Structures are given as C-alpha cells and as structure tokens.
Chain A
Amino acid sequence: QQQVKQSPQSLIVQKGGISIINCAYENTAFDYFPWYQQFPGKGPALLIAIRPDVSEKKEGRFTISFNKSAKQFSLHIMDSQPGDSATYFCAAGPWDGGSNYKLTFGKGTLLTVNP
C-alpha cells in the first residue's frame, strides 16, 4: 500500500498567522501533488497542485513547497483567515497514469483559524 502521510491531524492558528501542513510520500514514481480543501458538508475541491519540475508554486496566499530528495511537500497558508477554516487533504499520484489513474490521499488536517 503506497501511503501519503499527512501532519498535523489538526491545527489551530490565529487570524493573520501562517498555517503549515506537511505531507510525505513513498512512491518515487509519483509526480503530481495536489492539495484539496473541504468545507463541512461539502465535497473536497482542488485548491492548488504542483509537479516536481518546480520546487514551489504560489497562488495568492497559498504556496506549495516541494522537496523531491526528501519526498516531502507542504502547504503554506499566509495571512490565515477564519474563512480558511476547513479540512485540507494532500494527495500524490502519477501525472500520466495510463489506464489506472488514481490518487493516494493523506488523512487530512482540520484547520481552525481563530478570529
């Protein structure tokens, strides 16, 4: 079973602070690393994704950092806002998976941003 290990399980930050969620993967064939955001009662939705040809990708307040040698990637949320309170899932998989494409998800991080 190829795993993606995500930490922490839960995270509480103050408004304006930086939220950091970390993930580690095992399969060196993985070359696509998306992050999903899920609000209560809703399905997860793609937030941001990275391929390992770059070490960092930034979209607004959200940044993915990628360390290929360590097989780790992380999500940084700058200037965290109460509206960012949600569950965040990292995932990993092949960019081009042939006829059996699937992603492996981490167990999720419940982020709470206090006002």
Chain B
Amino acid sequence: DAGITQSPRHKVTETGTPVTLRCHQTENHRYMYWYRQDPGHGLRLIHYSYGVKDTDKGEVSDGYSVSRSKTEDFLLTLESATSSQTSVYFCATLDRALSGNTIYFGEGSWLTVV
C-alpha cells in the first residue's frame, strides 16, 4: 500500500461539464500516473508526472489535462466531459527501490458521463 487516495471515488456528470479527479499520495514518490481502464482495452496511460510541474502525455491524452503543483497531489481534468470518457480512472505512483520498481495503484475513481 503506497498511501494513495483518489477522490471522488464515484461521480456522475453531464456531457460538456469539466471534471477534476484528485490523487493524493503520502509516500513522497516522484513519479505519478493516471490510467483509465476499459473492457477490452486494459490499462491505458493518460498522463504522467516525473516531478513537480513536470508532466508528459501518455497514449490516450486527448481531452485530458493534468497538473502537479506539489509532490503529493496529481490532478486529472476532463476539460469538457464526453460519454467516451466514462471509465474507471486509476492513479498510480512509482516506488524505485533497489530491490525493484513497483507501481502502486489507488482504488480507482468511477466516472459516468451522461
């Protein structure tokens, strides 16, 4: 357990509205990630961060933006939510220990866009 808290855990929103998902970690991990999980697609990387104010795009970044102003917080924003963004969103952090690299996942945020 890497002390990852996602909020909200469940949200229903209307098409066209902005939505922000928050990820908070307590382990001071440098790397943080946002994934989405959809049936038949597995886990797909949206954006990731390798430090405060340092972010980069993943494979499915269109329609999403991120911000990281503090080590512990990584925000994912859907600028104008669409039905195709209905998904489960997972935040993750990377623990780079000598014994191995471990990506820890949060419990997920279920987002429904109606």
Contact = CB atoms under 8 A, between A and B. Distances in A.
Interface of A: 1, 6, 9, 32, 34, 36, 41-46, 49, 89, 91, 93, 95, 99-103, 105-108
Contacts of B45: 102
Main secondary structure of the interface of A (DSSP, over half): loop
A78 B43 CA distance: 26
Q: Which 7 A-B pairs have the closest CB atoms?
A: A43-B105, A107-B42, A105-B43, A108-B42, A44-B105, A46-B102, A99-B50
Interface in B41-97: 41-45, 48, 50, 54, 56, 58-59, 90, 92, 94, 96
Contacts, number: 58
B101 A101 contact: yes
Contacts of A99: 50, 54
Contacts of B59: 1
A41 B37 CA distance: 12
Interface residues of B, number: 29
20 contacts: A1-B59, A32-B101, A41-B108, A42-B107, A43-B92, A43-B105, A43-B106, A44-B43, A44-B105, A45-B104, A46-B102, A46-B103, A91-B103, A99-B50, A101-B50, A101-B96, A102-B58, A103-B103, A105-B43, A106-B42
